[in-house]
Structure 1
Amino acid sequence: MSTPRFLTLPSGVRRTFVETSRGRFAALEALPGSGVPERWPALLVPGFTGSKEDFLSVLQTLASAGRRVLAVDMRGQYETPAGTGPESYTRAELGADVAALAAVLGADDDVPVHLVGHSFGGLVTREAVLARTARVASFTLMSSGPGALTGPSAEKAVLLRDSIPQLGMEQIWTLALEPDAVNRGVPPKIVAFLKARTLGNCETGLMTMATELTTCPDRVDELAKFMAEEGLRTLVLYGEDDDVWDPRVQAAMAERLGAEKVVIPSAAHSPAVDAPETTAAALTDFWSLAERALR
């Protein structure tokens, strides 16, 4: 991979590409210390402007429980190749990509996959679940919601979408995103990574995903019905200070689903970044319970 490296990877985590029936996807892979997984694997899918690196702080801990764990860039994100046009970035198409990745991840041992979707990634992974195209051991909605994003965060997504044709991401980075990061005291090494990620994103993908994020229908009742029919264990996990998806909305979604719920203390929209050990422990506990119920 030719992209400059700005972030140090923990021991046991490596950069790789995953070849699927729907193309090639950039990933971070973590394996147990023995190198031999003893439990079912996990697939972690990031949000709208995120990437696989959003899970970097939890990968080693998650893998240490005996799992192969894969965090990916969705199509057109950072280091994954772009699609052929706007139609490549609908929730349905991105969900089909997730199903293809899950098929590869579970293929070696013919096992189901623990599926985690963060923010917009939650809406995408839900498509894969409801389409019944992914073999799923459990499903986690991390800092996600029942349907279209609303409020100030939705306004920001729409503003970004509408600004890209006029300015392009390079100018948006220089005029707005970089000054904001510097003013917030983000370390130079992280600013360099954020620049590479921002400019690595497909602009068409960002615009289409912004529309998908802000127009997505509420499919909670469909998911609840699927859970009841298939016995799928679902977890709603979010930070107590989430400033993108209102925690009250996420709590109500968990109740509608009849899902398990974990609120991560001292975390906002990115629990895996803000409280990695607590988040990893919650996921590991949930996955282990789901496996015991299915074996």
Structure 2
Amino acid sequence: MSRPPTWTPPPCAHATALGTRRGRFAALDARPAGRPQGTALLVPGFTGSKEDFIALLEPLTRAGYRVVAVDGRGQYETDGPDTEEAYAQGELAADILAQAEALGAGGSGSRGGNAGKGDGPLHLLGHSFGGHLARAAVLLDRTPFRSLTLLSSGPAEVAPAQREKLKLLRDALTTMSMEDVWEAMRAMDAPTEETPTDGADLRRRWLRTHPAQLLAAGRQLCAEPDRVAELAAVQPLPKLVMSGERDDTWPVAWLDAMAVRLAARRTVIAGAQHSPNTDRPAETAKALADFWDEAY
């Protein structure tokens, strides 16, 4: 579970609802002082939310980018159905394409990679499970996007130890309330340096996330096929594989090999683990802006 260093957006950002043809999605929209040279759509991972990207917003807007971080359907402040079928990967990928369209990016058959008027090309980033969704969206239609970043997101299913943890969580979610599962997870967690406020924010996010979304996402993480060859064939599309120097969800060696297969840029953020966006946000933002600048 990502632990945002802060839950308060910087002055450059505001909370909003991104209206699309597939519904409304809670979002944080951050804009630079001048005309944006591009827009980034950020997709959070399993048990995550748009707040996982808060620490990136200010440095990325200083670099000249508009940044829109979203809660997917059933995540935190975005409503969602109660059936697992509604959270199939194809449905969530279609949501991302609708979000891109709402930001002004062209769809299939149009000149792709352009966000709304004055907001420049659209760059797509997915963290962890969000990377699998971003990949699926690009495989459906790459034309809205100027680039794709897979942040701590691997080539296929998660590592065996993580699959065991996800199975335990799925079993708990089918027999226990969200409140009871939260208390059980906290009891099993190693001690952290979270403040009481951090814990309250994490708890609120957990309780507002739909169990069906968590169940469906957990199943997908345990069964995702290797689609790297398909993604490598999507051209032209600059790709970045970024991670921390340690990762228990997908071993770093797996991410190294995936980057080679994709002919992608590979960036490792020193001192970070599975969430460079919260572990080392300044370094992560700089690497992202450098990549987007070159993909312009």
2: CA distance between counterparts of 1:135 and 1:46?
Answer: 19
Equivalent residue runs for 1:263-274 within 5 Å: 263-274=268-279
Q: Within the alignment, does 1:222 sit opposite 2:220 as a pair?
A: no
**Structure 1 regions of 5+ residues with no counterpart?**
1-5
Q: Compare 100-109 and 156-165 and name the one that shifted more.
A: 100-109
Task: Give the CA deviation at 1:212.
Answer: 0.9
Question: 1:191 aligned to 2:233?
Answer: no
Cα distance change on mapping 1:180 and 1:27 into 2, 3 Å: farther
1:75 is matched by which residue type in structure 2?
Answer: R
Deviations 1:260-289 (A, max 9, x none): 100000000000101001000000000000
Counterpart CA distance in 2 for 1:182 and 1:155 is: 18
The reply to whether residue 287 of structure 1 matches residue 292 of structure 2 is: yes
Return the alpha-carbon distance in structure 2 between the equivalents of residues 132 and 236 of structure 1. 20
The worse-fitting range, judged by mean Cα deviation, of 72-81 and 108-117 is 108-117
Q: Secondary structure at the match of 1:267?
A: coil
Query: How far off its partner does 1:24 sit?
Result: 0.6
Q: What's the counterpart of residue 158 of structure 2?
A: 149
Say if 1:40 and 1:113, in contact at 8 Å, map to a contact too. yes
Residue 85 of structure 1: how far off its partner (Å): 2.2
Match of 2:138 among 129, 132, 147: 129
Contact 1:46/1:120, CA 8 A, preserved across alignment: yes
TM-score by length of 1: 0.91
What's the CA shift for 1:106? Answer: 2.9
1:193-223, Cα deviation, whole Å (9 max, x unpaired)? 0000000100011101110111111000000
Matches within 5 A, 1:13-28: 13-28=13-28
* Residue among 48, 51, 74 paired with 1:50: 48
- Post-superposition CA distance 1:15-64 (Å, at most 9, x none): 111000100101111111x2x43311000001011111111111111111
Aligned match of 2:3: none
Q: Which residue of 2 aligns with 1:12?
A: 12
The residue number in structure 2 matching 1:3 is none
Percent identity between matched residues is: 45
Alpha-carbon deviation of 1:176? 2.4
Alpha-carbon distance, 1:104 to partner: 1.2
What is the total number of aligned residue pairs between the two structures?
A: 280
Q: Tell me if structure 2 keeps the 8 A contact 1:128–1:134.
A: no
List alignment gaps of at least 5 residues for structure 2. Answer: 1-5, 106-115
Cα separation, 2, equivalents of 1:231 and 1:213: 27
Match of 2:87 among 86, 89, 95: 89
Shift of 1:244: 1.6
The Cα RMSD (Å) is 1.6
Counterparts of 2:190 and 2:74, CA distance in 1: 26
Q: CA deviation at 1:102?
A: 1.0
In the alignment, is the contact (CA less than 8 A) between 2:82 and 2:210 conserved in 1? no
Match in the other structure for 1:257: 262
Pair 1:60–1:109, CA change in 2 (3 A): same
Tell me the equivalent position of 2:103: 105
Letter in 1 for 2:294: L
Question: What residue identity is the alignment partner of 2:185?
Answer: A
Are 2:261 and 1:246 equivalent residues in the alignment? no
Q: Which of residues 101, 109, 118 in structure 1 aligns to 2:127?
A: 118
**Matched-pair contact (CA < 8 Å) for 1:181–1:191:** no
Task: Quickly say closer, same or farther: Cα 1:182–1:195, change in 2 above 3 A.
Answer: farther
- Seen in structure 2, the aligned counterparts of structure 1 residues 105 and 76 have a Cα distance that, compared at 3 Å, is same
Structure 2: how far apart are the matches of 1:112 and 1:245? 30
**Equivalent-residue separation in structure 2 for 1:199 and 1:52 (angstroms):** 16
